[in-house]
Amino acid sequence: MYGEFVVADAHCDTALRALDGHDLRAGDRVCHVDLPKMKAGGVDLQVFALWVDNHCLPMRPGDRLSIMMARLASFLEDAAAEIGLVSDYSGFEKQLSEGKISALLAVEGAHSLPAETASIDLCHQVGVRLITLCWNNTNWLASSSRQAKRFPFGLTPLGRKAVKRMTELGVIVDVSHASERAFWDVAEICRNPFVASHSCAKALCDHHRNLDDEQLRAIAFVKGVVGVNFHWQFLKEEAQASIEDVVSHIDYIISKIGDDHVCLGSDFDGIPSGPKGLEDISRIPRLIDALLAKGYSEDTVKKVAGENFLRVFKEVCG
């Protein structure tokens, strides 16, 4: 916690670092997110995405996913006094009161899961509470934004069943990476707030992964959130971004849909580098200060820093 601000980050790929043998308990210059940096950044909840590169296909991506989960579980066990896995909001509240960081499991891209709706049940059983439907590759759930022209469908029939099952179980549906058609299919059938955990505003940076104003309004309509991504490619068209560019996207989204529907979605450890001034998770207090300096009230900045994502977590996952 940074002062009175509860901090939640809706997406990082740091489980990859654990898989590669990095010790997340110690400060590691390679990692954007590790235990010392989370503590320095005042992080209270961190979403850890389990992602398998599609280049592993058609080999056994489930094996790699299982090993990644095991390595992350080992880190959480070794650092249990300071960080713990949560699967519902009451668990988060308990750990917050104990001064512990909460870890929330996500799966990024269903290509690493068996192509059946029972995979959603299995994810839920092992503690996954957010599923990013696809990555850059199209899969059995949904077409991706990168391959939208090649695969012009949205959700597959199995994808529709899976989204409905996620709604029933209390798993957050994440449309980052999804094609525009898949986005609107989710908007049509999802009965819970859904999120774009690590996306930005297309009006400021015309990237296929970013959301246009109509999509922003659709997320606001269902009381979901957009997690602003810290990768320069989604922030601006030049290859150097700064903390001010992150503020600009937050500012734009607030101007279009209000301050209840934007949060942090760093994509740390899944991006080559963070923006200048926001190089890793320890720098989150600088972002909070930058938003306050721009004139936003403490109430609004608290929403952006963590309360908005936590509201969705509580409503969907209980």
Query: Is residue 87 one of the residues assigned to a domain?
Result: yes
Q: Which pLDDT tens digit goes with each residue over 45-69?
A: 999 999 988 666 555 777 888 899 9
Q: Which pLDDT tens digit goes with each residue over 180-230?
A: 999 999 999 999 999 999 999 999 999 999 999 999 999 999 999 999 999
Q: Mean pLDDT for the chain?
A: 95
pTM for the full predicted model: 0.96
Structural domain including 30 reads 7-317
Cβ neighbors of 43 (< 8 A, separation 6 or more) are: 7, 8, 9, 101, 281, 284
- Using CA atoms, how far residue 105 sits from 177, 207, 233, 245, 280, in Å, is 18, 27, 25, 28, 20
CATH classification at residue 155:
3.20.20.140
Bridge partners (DSSP) of residue 130 are 106, 172
Number of domains in the chain: 1
Query: Is residue 64 one of the residues assigned to a domain?
Result: yes
Query: Is residue 1 one of the residues assigned to a domain?
Result: no
Query: Is residue 11 one of the residues assigned to a domain?
Result: yes
Choose between 84 and 28: higher pLDDT: 84
pLDDT at 58: 53
Query: Is residue 267 one of the residues assigned to a domain?
Result: yes
Measured between its terminal Cα atoms, the distance across the chain in Å is 22
Q: Which pLDDT tens digit goes with each residue over 85-102?
A: 999 999 999 999 999 999
Q: Which pLDDT tens digit goes with each residue over 219-275?
A: 999 999 999 999 999 999 887 899 999 999 999 999 999 999 999 999 999 999 999
Query: Is residue 273 one of the residues assigned to a domain?
Result: yes
What is the identity of the amino acid at 164? Answer: K
Query: Is residue 2 one of the residues assigned to a domain?
Result: no
Query: Is residue 254 one of the residues assigned to a domain?
Result: yes
